[in-house]
Structure 1
């Protein structure tokens, strides 16, 4: 077999010309391309005048020298010298140096070039490696000379130290204003406006109504996703004017104490004046709470209830074995997802849809039974949704039938739930016993009047019950005084009682919002009965 003969490769050589701007630097007789850099750190009028004077001076100074060619005056106005990344003029100058457009830079002083020793030395070395010198007029230093770096380093340390001293003095002044409650904070948020020169923010009524709706919706059980969908469906824009809301922005609104009229100073802080890295203050620095600082948009009781609900939802544990993390997820779609519990295994119930042909039924099933079959929960019952809703309404009607009479018990249970003090439970028991003892006395009095025989026995019984009622009244007064002193308890009681007065509690129809507000949990037993436990400490059992 003959081997194929390959033609010899022919090399192709292409000449790539040198960059004229870079190659011409070695020519000592050529005119130098000279630029200047100037910077002022504040927007004060005298600083702006200084800035304009520097630009004018360097433009004229470079053009007057026949051996120099004017490139540009790079400037940063109202920008700190401690961070290079925010100085657009400086960075543009460095890019032009890398492109070979500049041979020499003039600047007033080391502190104008940079107030950060690391940035100062690193950029001096970088430019020096490219053959570009920096002339600092105030210190009379040329960075291309051999001993220049030592002097530049000394002056850079002095400039950085000066910045640190200025920063410390400013921080001290800010802290003093925070302590006095006179520090002016920003109000770039939905519901408020604060223009320059105004001492107090103004409430924008239409925006304030949106804020209140957000808080109410969350308190009534809506999820962040549902609130987000509501806001976008109503074409309500974010504080920055965007049509799309994020859940994180809504969460920040719900935790913002400014909506209740308070301000917390120093929630964040800067670690140092050089890096300017901002951190959340988790206790490393002192915070200052100023209460009633400005007009509130949201009622304080509602705000506190929302904070408690945020904590409750964030502390939920997982309910399904199929989830990857140990954290649970709040469901705002159906109230029963949070409330319906299997009494046999303790797992929550889950809403399922059963379809066969055109027939469709909604039912609720134990989550453990769904995921593991009869292995862990062999006796739990599946409940048809319509029948379940009806049973819950009947149970609530029975539990709340004597609402006025049970108010003392409700208050006692609420007080115990809020404070954890078992003494609060005594009030309900005391009032119940007073009512029973009063009825006993009425019976003894009737017997005393009607009997024709010896009345001594009845008099002794009447005296004994009277002494007991007197003792109970004293205990009741003590318990009530203690309860009335608790602002937290009374605000929660008032909130729930007001809610009961303003809503239909006949439970003629099932309503997710009402169920969320009234029901603590619902236990489902294997015989098909449910036990509805209300947030007021009452309960009722009903067959589905």
Structure 2
């Protein structure tokens, strides 16, 4: 007879559930002592909260110090956290409030959607919102819209205050150019740096190129104001600064409604104050150097201020490092043969701070051609549903919510009218009327803010709608690209994110990001 031996299953590993890997994100907008103390309190709170839960595994705290919440690209710790989420190192995230996460509605929704697609949920403690249990994004969009409104209001108040100080000449300079120290709002000559400034101007007038002078300064181990390496571009910007002749021009740059900074080419008023501080360079030498810079630009076919000068190549200013958040610079590699490549600015300045290596220009071009050809081939299954979805969200969610808010505002107005009627007839005491009316006014103001937030969300959606429509129209009519087309790239791509030397992402102007592998 055959012998049968029963082997019992090993159940311990199956019954034991893996711990939830929980992280937290913290941010303060200034580096003041009070704000840094608040940051330390947040870090301590989340560390103890996460570590005290036996079913959680501490996955780290990500902190951005003294950084604005209006742009995600300028927050390296946030980008690092998202990268760790993509690498499956995090399952759940704690954040104090929506305003700590983002004061930009579009960025907030984009990040939440991205993490949701990875199966990662966020808990906003102050608002008591858990993204895993949300039936729709409406409440999140309203609250993040309010945070953006608050940020806009603060920014507008600050702008008004700064404008007044520009106009009456009382604006105090917080940061100083190389060669000066800012002391209580005054520019005081730093004699050690001033000697280097004079050396740079004299070398230019002697006929040396900016790159040659930069190389000399680096060989002498002379750092820039921020302790970095000198470059020709750094010197070009430096020697065009009017502060070296003792003058100052206020509002040379400005921020738009999307918090993007632009050079002021006449769009905004500027304010010139002559003899504002002690000069380092004479007017004659300064003007002579400007003529030399202008002449060299003409010899290269470049005129300062032209779009060609500011953005000579399709990828200029659009490639973003996924590790540190800074842009890539164009370089020519000479390894037997000349090759055009793009490299992270931080990596070029300090390899220890960013390990992202250079990527060939042709690799970016090939990846774009591959990506756009995929869209052309599958536009019916990718772009058309996206277009229909955007139309549906705008019509169903946003407009219905605005309709509900309008009804509540009408009811609020009727109640205010009733209060006035009751008080005038003597049925209501004035203190009771004031209290009730103030409550109604506050409620009306809150409803109006919500309505404004939804309207702005719809406008953003309409912009994406038009961009998707344009991309779909192009993909429907176009033939497969055989080579890189800079005009097509500029028309549809906002930025390129480099996650690694093997993978990049094209952030399209229509709001979606399409990843593509780099072929080696």
**Relative contact order, higher structure (CA 8 A, sep 6+):** 2
Q: Report TM bin, short chain.
A: 0.3 to 0.5
Q: TM-score, normalised by structure 1?
A: 0.46
**The structure with more radius of gyration:** 1
